[in-house]
Structure 1
Amino acid sequence: MPATEYQGSFLGRISIRRNQVMAMEGTHDQEVEDLELFQKHVSDRFADLFSPSSEDSTGDALLSIGWLRKLLDTFLCCEAEFKAVVIMGRDPAHISKPPLDRLVPELLERVVKALDICNALCLGVESVRNVQKLAEIAVSALEQRPIGDGQARRAKKALHSLITAMTAEDKDGTAKSTERAWSFGRRGASSAPANKERVSGQFRALSCSMAKNWSAAKQIHSMSSNLVAPRGAESSGLASPIYVMSTIFVFVMWTLVAAIPCQERTGLGTHFPVPKQLGWAQLMIGLQEKIAEEWKKKEKKGSAGLLEEMQRLEKIAQSLIDFTDSFQFPVEAERLEEVNSQVEELADICRKMEEGLVPLQQQIREVFHRVVRSRSEFLDVLDQAGKLSAPTL
């Protein structure tokens, strides 16, 4: 059954069951079954991310724009089912009892940190879009026939600016922004440079500053610092889905920060531990290991991130720089054929970025607004629980 269909079936089933009037003792087995089904859905979705279906014609590679969009879809589906399991039609008093009286506030703290990360990610996507524009300048110049000295110089300038941007260390993110508290409702003028000179000047680092001492890596580490799997009787209660969702939260934010330029990511490759004996976590652990290994390779030389399109773009750009640095007119036929092939590939990458980056940014915004609403819903439940437990005068 497709993800959207079994999600709808799952949410509908919980809604119906919670509206039925029956003794709490009679619902225990159903409760356990719902928790197991939620974990199964999590496992199924991460299986799709780990091994894309052969029926998927997009063939999205790990950490590509298309793959990241699937990751965000997975997050949104899991988050909807999580709320259905934990709070849909449930007595608010359940949320105020141990260990939920501790676990829910911890989850809400992770949400707040994730909102900052979403802001940084949206700025990062803008940075990638600007890199794409530089690549398009190079493509436009090198598609001209015949390629002359002017076209080679224009392409060379754009390609050097592109490589400088992509190899800038995150810790050197000194790009100035008049909108440090950038909001999702508007985009600053700095995100759309008026000319190539401004583009070049802004690429000393890819990410715009959130705040002077803000660190994406520290946010991730803080989100995972108290992430502990429930044990004993807690593992079969509501503590379990809270742990599952918290782990998904951290994994998704960690992955996005690894892929997309963000301010200060030193040490990000140290990924958070997830118990291997948990069935739903096996594929997530496999993805963690793959991404962490790639991060270690890139962190040694400084990197704009692991976004697959950016990795390919960097490789081609380096080769084309060699061509423009040693350019002589007329170009040999064999060399021209090789350059044409690389320019076509670069243009194809630019098209994919043009088609995918804006929808990706919109999904990040959707995640932002969704978790804001969810946090409000949990706070309302906690408030109701507090009123119910308050002594009457």
Structure 2
Amino acid sequence: MPSSNNHGSPMPFASFRRPILAVGSDQVHSEMNHDSSTPNLDTFQRQVFTWFHDISVVDADEFLSISWICKLLASFTSCHDHFQAILLNNRRQLLNPPADRLATEFFDRVIKALDIFNATRDGIEKIRIWQKHLEIIVCALDTRQRILGSIFSNRNRSFGRKGKDSHHHRSSGHSRSLSWSVPHNWSASKQLQLITNNLIPPRGNEIETTDGLATLFFAMSFILMFVLWILVVAIPCQDRGVQIHFTIPRNFPWSTPFSLLHSRIMDESKKRDRRNSNGLLKEIYQIEKNVHQITTLVDSAQFPLPEEVKEEVTANGNDLSLVCEACKRELEPLQRQLRDVFRKIMNGHTEGLEALGMATEP
């Protein structure tokens, strides 16, 4: 995905442009206009509640997993499609203040969001590298204990103890794959904070003057920011962090599931064994836990390993194998979905700017 800062990086998703007014919102626009009805804000807000309520109440075993992140992105896509449909139906209103200002502010947030999607893409690539390394470890665990000592004496310390060796590995081993689309001094946390700045609910006169578009822009801006926040806290990103300052809005039809999601994610981040995690993604936690247990067992034992230690190592190795298989099966679909969302919001940005310029045309 191209960087919004134009750092001269490759553009693997360069073919994102489509004809104006020809994005996925066309289908939504057609469906919502059935029986001469038009997309409206009340319907949009009720549907936002439904989509995000479904993912906010999932079982703990599914929460923050790769498959759950895919559902999150699907919910965001549905919101974006309906948002675009409403926007196109009201494009003449966009030239009138303060709607023109609100539209400009939203599209500026979209541009800032693109770097976070790039960083998330890089984070997924990092997990895929871990997966390949861990597959080697899993294979070694299936052989004799002689190999065990060799493997863990040179283990990947991204999942070992925190310290100088771990920092050195992260800063040198695969730095290019982590930061080739954003500068080395780029910060996911700071970028999120820029998107969050001045994100406040609209005033009554703004809602009235814009025929409700002020509420629409606020809702979609908040949804965009919130989804990006989840991606950053879940997936390894450059200078990621959980403590981004924003307030869950109240008195909106869709507020409740966002409050629940925020509460659940903050609870996860406070758990002792996830405090220094590479990310809150469930699969990352499982990898870190199993590798830590295996390395602790191997480091504390003498070779040849006692039978009970061998059994514990084997059990953790089996768990690690299951996680690797899940990553191997689910990361590629997540990458495709992330690429599709990137293209969709980029198309929406282009479409919106064109709508601003076309608002006076018949």
TM-score normalised according to structure 2 size: 0.82
Moved more, 147-156 or 343-352: 147-156
**Other-structure match for 2:155:** 158
Q: CA deviation at 1:307?
A: 1.1
Q: CA deviation at 1:353?
A: 0.7
Given the alignment of the two structures, is residue 276 of structure 1 paired with residue 250 of structure 2, yes or no?
Answer: yes
Given the alignment of the two structures, is residue 245 of structure 1 paired with residue 220 of structure 2, yes or no?
Answer: yes
Which letter maps to 1:352? Answer: A
Change (3 A) 1:258 1:96: same
Change (3 A) 1:164 1:117: farther
Q: CA deviation at 1:12?
A: 3.0
**Other-structure match for 1:3:** none
8 Å CA contact 1:43, 1:280 repeated in 2 = yes
Which letter maps to 1:79? Answer: H
Which letter maps to 1:126? Answer: E
**Other-structure match for 2:195:** 223
Note the 1:185-224 alignment, pairs <5 A.
201-202=173-174, 207-208=178-179, 210-224=182-196
Which letter maps to 1:157? Answer: N
Given the alignment of the two structures, is residue 106 of structure 1 paired with residue 105 of structure 2, yes or no?
Answer: yes
**Other-structure match for 1:49:** 55
Q: Which structure has the higher relative contact order (CA within 8 Å, separation 6+)?
A: 2
Q: CA deviation at 1:151?
A: 3.0
**Other-structure match for 1:379:** 353
Q: In structure 2, how many angstroms separate the alpha carbons of the residues matched to 1:240 and 1:261?
A: 33
**Other-structure match for 1:361:** 335
Change (3 A) 1:14 1:62: same
Which of 254, 259, 264 is the equivalent residue of 2:234? 259
Which letter maps to 1:207? Answer: L
Q: How many residues align?
A: 334
Q: In structure 2, how many angstroms separate the alpha carbons of the residues matched to 1:168 and 1:259?
A: 24
8 Å CA contact 1:223, 1:250 repeated in 2 = yes
8 Å CA contact 1:167, 1:301 repeated in 2 = no
CA RMSD of aligned residues (A): 3.2
User: Residues 310-355 of structure 1: CA distance to partner in whole angstroms, max 9, x if unpaired?
Assistant: 1111111111002222344443333332222211110000001111
8 Å CA contact 1:136, 1:350 repeated in 2 = yes
Q: CA deviation at 1:282?
A: 1.1
Given the alignment of the two structures, is residue 138 of structure 1 paired with residue 137 of structure 2, yes or no?
Answer: yes
Identical-residue share of aligned pairs (%): 34
Q: In structure 2, how many angstroms separate the alpha carbons of the residues matched to 1:227 and 1:160?
A: 39
Moved more, 317-326 or 155-164: 155-164
8 Å CA contact 1:153, 1:324 repeated in 2 = no
**Other-structure match for 2:32:** 14
Gaps of at least 5 residues in structure 2 are 1-24
Q: CA deviation at 1:71?
A: 0.5
Change (3 A) 1:382 1:294: same
8 Å CA contact 2:189, 2:244 repeated in 1 = no
Which letter maps to 1:283? Answer: P
Given the alignment of the two structures, is residue 312 of structure 1 paired with residue 286 of structure 2, yes or no?
Answer: yes
User: Residues 206-264 of structure 1: CA distance to partner in whole angstroms, max 9, x if unpaired?
Assistant: 93352032111111111111111123251761211211111110000011011111111
Q: In structure 2, how many angstroms separate the alpha carbons of the residues matched to 1:299 and 1:243?
A: 36
Which letter maps to 2:212? Answer: G
Gaps of at least 5 residues in structure 1 are 1-6, 21-29, 54-58, 176-200
Q: CA deviation at 1:125?
A: 0.7
Q: In structure 1, how many angstroms separate the alpha carbons of the residues matched to 2:342 and 2:167?
A: 23
Change (3 A) 1:46 1:300: closer
8 Å CA contact 1:111, 1:371 repeated in 2 = yes
Name the SS for the 1:86 alignment partner: helix
8 Å CA contact 2:95, 2:356 repeated in 1 = yes
8 Å CA contact 1:131, 1:165 repeated in 2 = no
Name the SS for the 2:178 alignment partner: coil
User: Residues 355-392 of structure 1: CA distance to partner in whole angstroms, max 9, x if unpaired?
Assistant: 1111111111111111111011111111123x669xxx
Change (3 A) 1:75 1:242: same
**Other-structure match for 1:232:** 204
8 Å CA contact 1:258, 1:305 repeated in 2 = yes
- From the CA coordinates, give the structure whose radius of gyration is larger: 1
**Other-structure match for 2:16:** none
Given the alignment of the two structures, is residue 74 of structure 1 paired with residue 49 of structure 2, yes or no?
Answer: no
Q: CA deviation at 1:270?
A: 2.9
TM-score normalised according to structure 1 size: 0.76
8 Å CA contact 2:99, 2:213 repeated in 1 = yes
Q: In structure 1, how many angstroms separate the alpha carbons of the residues matched to 2:305 and 2:84?
A: 62
Which letter maps to 2:76? Answer: F
8 Å CA contact 1:309, 1:353 repeated in 2 = yes
**Other-structure match for 1:322:** 296
Change (3 A) 1:343 1:206: farther
**Other-structure match for 1:97:** 96
Q: In structure 2, how many angstroms separate the alpha carbons of the residues matched to 1:212 and 1:202?
A: 13
Change (3 A) 1:98 1:60: farther
Note the 1:293-312 alignment, pairs <5 A.
293-296=267-270, 302-312=276-286
Name the SS for the 1:279 alignment partner: coil
User: Residues 270-325 of structure 1: CA distance to partner in whole angstroms, max 9, x if unpaired?
Assistant: 34112222220111111112223433557996431111111111111111002222
